[in-house]
Amino acid sequence: MEENPAKNHYAQLNQGEENEMEIFGYKTQGCRKALCIAGYILSCGALLLLFYWKPEWDVWANCIPCSLEEADIVLLRTTDEFRIYSRKTVTWISVSALIKSRLDYPAPAEEDSIFSRAIMKPSLQVKSIQVQKIHYVWNIYAKQFQKVGALEDHHTCSAIHARFGSGLTCCEQNFRRVICGPNTIDVPVIPIWKLLIKEVLNPFYVFQLFSVCLWFAEDYMEYAVAIIIMSLLSIFLTVYDLRQQSVKLHRLVESHNNIMVTVYRNKEGFQELESHHLVPGDMLVLKEGKTLLPCDAILISGQCVVNESMLTGESIPVTKTQLPQADNSKPWRMHCAEDYKKHVLFCGTEVIQTKADDRGVVKAVVLRTGFNTAKGDLVRSILYPKPMNFKLYRDALRFLMCLIAFAGIGMIYTVCVFALNGEEAGEVVKKALDVVTIAVPPALPAALTTGIIYTQRRLKKKGIFCISPQRINMCGQLNLVCFDKTGTLTEDGLDLWGLLPSERNCFQDVHNFPVDQSLPWGPVFRAMVVCHSLIVWEGKIQGDPLDVKMFEATNWVIDDCSGHHVEGQGSTYATVVRPGPKASSVPVEGVTILHQFPFSSALQRMSVIAQEIGGEQQVFTKGAPETVAMLCRAETVPLNFESKLLLYTAQGFRVIGLAWKSLQAGKQSTDVTREEAESDLTFLGLLIMENRLKKETKPVLEELSAAHIRSVMVTGDNIQTAVTVAKNAGMIPPTDRVILVEANKIPGSFSASITWKLLEENKPKDYGSLEDHSHTERRIRLALGSSQYHFAMSGKSYQIIGQHFRHLLPKLLMNGTVFARMSPGQKSSLVEEFQKLNYFVGMCGDGANDCGALKVAHAGISLSEQEASVASPFTSQTPSIACVPELIREGRAALVTSFCMFKYMALYSTIQYLGVLLLYWQINSFGNYQFLFQDLAITTVIGVTMSFTGAYPKLVPYRPPSQLISPPLLLSVVLNILFSLSMQIFGFVVVQEQPWYSKTDIHSACLSENKSVENSSFTSSLELHGMRDGALEETDNGYKSYENTTVWLLSTINCLIVALVFSKGKPFRQPIYKNYVFVLVLVGQLGICLFLVFADIDDLYSKMDLVCTPTTWRISMVIMLAVTLAVSFLVEEALIENRPLWLLLKKTFRYHSKSHYKRLQQVLEQDSSWPPLNETFFSDSVAISVQENMGGHSNPTFDSNEDTL
């Protein structure tokens, strides 16, 4: 941090989070403000407009730097590459009325909270700012702004139970409400006048306004009116669209803003109040039945089943359990690690079932309110989207600057020409400014977005919805796609294939489903009956598809009664399962599920405490076989456990481990910790599920592979299962080898080891043994030498490599294809690591546990039934990966369309600019209707229809260029400008050499043909040149000349030539003839232009400021245009679009790609020692310190609290 002249002038807001900002303190100074006001008046508001566009200039002009403590204005700057500034005014909240009633307030319990540390003495005021809907208050001790509206992170589990378990007092509640503000996610519908003003003050429309004023001054009445109508139409359409979005968002959130809730008040008992009165720390009481959650809350007693589909697009109900009363000094979130979400109820989700414990009520402590909540965060991400850093937009701005410089040259030329001819100063200024409006096409930004709008519509028809349209162009650049496995590559519903029971540390015979007779009553059967988190909702058994299949195989049913009294447990609500009508006879009436430890991605298991009606309490655990086996007593695990597991996972089965134990009598189920329950278990066996590939998976992955787009699997499943699925899906070709990378921490030290092993095909007799014969080694080396190898690793290994072998990570990612047992946080980290290698990464998943990765990727595609899942920018209603190549195709087409439009707009304005500058040489210009025809009848119509061309159905093995400033594109623009310039100059000069040409008599050409002289013609010719004396009466006569007619006709038809030549078809878009509307428009426009060339209708020519020329000259012009078309088309096809030629040039000039992964690829190809097979490396004793990420994700529902890499 740099030291500023003013002490404490600078600080960081939300350090380490996604919305991190720098904050600077400023104090308003009277004399500076007075000078600025004078500047506003003298500049007629231009300075004010400039300050509106640049808030930092406003602050620097009006204020002086000071410490944040003294500041009355703060300047905020984002820490990303965009460095966007915003200005905020500091406000003061008075709390004196609340404190006078109790002089000793804040209470001792509040002393360590931000609420007591923010009160300024003796004024009893709190200094506050609001940034992107979040409130921050000034902490007078820490000397920084801190977020309010959420419980502080430092509370331990026991402190939350002790401090907030009995509720806040009324006084504490009022005090917190004044500082935090209401618990509402308030998105007011923006008034139309506000939207209108904001839109009108856009630099694009301000430039339009400047142009219109200039055209009115030059008597371009019709043209100016037409532009005003178009601009107004554009403004109204944009405002209407923004208003619709505003109304939609308002409706989305208003339902949760005011619902009645029950809270428990310290000393006052239960109270009913409106949800907008809730504050962090309040004790919320959840009643039976469905409830919408108005805030984020930590469950501290009882259990809930919640539908989180609103946030995640995942329709499976989620079970939430109470926060443990762990008595240690760790903050509650760190204590619960990644499982903290299992105790948190999120705002916007729906509680569909509550189960009270023996204390009788389900209670939760309010964790976050308003915009701090999960739903609030989601709404903020829609209100304040992250700007996209895409080269296309940056290059477009640079190109615009070049055009402005180009216009500057034209202005100097214009001033010189007109001044030397003795024109009035006012006229010279008008003509010079006119050049700017011609050279810089004001419709350029709009033209760039038309392609994206049409693509969005095409995607919507195909069931792909997009909430971030600017990412569509990004999809055209994707060269690596990460796929989740279950439900994405494979079918969501698993089929139960069989059960491999274990008795006395030996596996028994496989029990197949559904062929074999029903399972005998015993621990394995009980595990299948109770070890799940299923519920009955709306008359159907709901929950994880794996749990549903397992439970259905037993033919038991869930008793839908709400409460059951359990012996020795007091009054408690519990799920009871009983034998169904088709079930085989069993010696029990039913089994009660007393307590659940829900499934956790981090722990890779779930457990339940259950009790046979009238029997003893037992613990049942199911999860990843390796994890479950580690929790079991060693003597109960079969010796051939690993080889059996490998046998089934290698065939692509999904394998689940089962275990159990009896609990000692007399112990309350609620008092048993997860650690106690999941220890000293007895291994029961393996449940084998068949995980079928979706029919679309293999063809899609083959298509991506053919297009040189890498596919990577990122899954939470077993590594062997994942590798087999990758092979079956074609992600790993049959001839390629798989190398297993294993990293382990060395016990008792800070170092780690990493090993490379060849994962052999499983042979029934020899499970995965490594062949050491010399000929085999040689064969493997040959295979590996030609890059035909893939790395597979687990999440644990990935984590250790990130900490201890950081230098190896990029090398491993170059050929890493399977990443198994990955937690949600590791998935996000992996995507970011790929991006660091300059890959454009797509992520396709189910939207729930992949949410972080979906948001981090360049293009996240969620397979969800909801129209717009907030989990990702793209949502496909068809639950298959077929949407991925579709999106890439459309993205490539949109990107190429943007380039075509850009080139066309640049050329059109340059053609017009060159034509006008040529005519300025003779103190002439284009007429009003001539401009109108070129701008409206030609360019606007082409701009709208050129983008209709759809995507080419085949993905080619290379991507379109990602930047405008690329040699082929620049060469194309420059050459076409030269062709246009040559043709216009040729026409301009040659027409003056014609025998019928006369500078003064504009009818001489046709008169020499007709041999008839009319006085009127001579008069009109005199009137034409009267314009130089300013004595011009008729507006249309000032521009008539042979040069004007020649240059205008050539430049107008040249615009059509350019549109045709630049309309790229294959390989990224469909052939041009498939865009019927565009072809029809071009043919129609060409017909009209040729009609204007050859027609000889006096009224029409008079209106269009054209003059009659001999037929031979008209034919000559058509020949000139035909030659230009031929040359332009030939150059575009043979040079610009000649991919082999550009590749040869790259090779000749030894051009090396700037992409990190390509450079690394070249290095690895030359490294004979890579990969180091059957070797083990050891890290240094000092590991890279890995920061705890306490909430960097964009959606708190999916915060990962694990070590991020």
d(CA 325, CA 355): 18
User: Nearest-CA neighbor of 891 among 959, 957, 937?
Assistant: 959
Residue with tokens 């260029």: 961
User: Nearest-CA neighbor of 295 among 258, 246, 243?
Assistant: 258
d(CA 13, CA 19): 8
Cβ atoms 32, 62 nearer than 8 A? yes
d(CA 372, CA 132): 11
Residue of 484, 547, 717, 1199 marked active site:
484
Cβ atoms 1070, 951 nearer than 8 A? yes
d(CA 740, CA 726): 14
DSSP states along 1066-1111: TTTB--GGG-HHHHHHHHHHHHHHHHHHH---HHHHHHTT-----H
Cis ω for the linkage preceding 5 (within 30 of 0): no
SS3 content of the chain, % helix, strand, coil (to 5): 45, 20, 35
* Residue 718 phi, psi (nearest 5): -60, 145
Amino acid at 680: D
- Count the alpha carbons within 13 Å of 345 in the hemisphere toward its beta carbon: 33
Tell how strand 710-714 and strand 480-483 pair up. parallel
d(CA 639, CA 505): 7
d(CA 1101, CA 557): 88
> 925 CB contacts (<8 Å, ≥6 apart)?
431, 434, 916, 919, 1039, 1044
Report how far Cα 492 is from the mean position of its chain's Cα atoms: 25
d(CA 696, CA 698): 6
Q: Quick one: DSSP state of residue 74? A: E
* Residue 982 phi, psi (nearest 5): -60, -45
Tell how strand 859-863 and strand 874-876 pair up. parallel
Cβ atoms 804, 794 nearer than 8 A? no
Classify the C-alpha dihedral 287-291-294-300 as positive or negative.
positive
Strand partners, 745: 752
Q: How far is CA 884 from CA 312, 482, 691, 873, 1070, in A?
A: 20, 11, 21, 13, 19
Q: Which long-range contacts (CB under 8 A, 24 or more apart) does 646-650 make?
A: 646/720, 646/762, 646/767, 646/768, 647/762, 647/764, 647/767, 648/500, 648/686, 648/688, 649/718, 649/719, 649/720, 649/721, 649/724, 650/720, 650/723, 650/724, 650/761, 650/762
d(CA 333, CA 342): 11
Cβ atoms 621, 531 nearer than 8 A? yes
Strand partners, 421: none
> 1074 CB contacts (<8 Å, ≥6 apart)?
949, 950, 1065
The H or E element that residue 1144 is part of is helix 1139-1148
Cβ atoms 476, 895 nearer than 8 A? yes
Cis ω for the linkage preceding 122 (within 30 of 0): yes
Cβ atoms 398, 965 nearer than 8 A? yes
Active site residue 766: no
Catalytic residues, which ones? 484
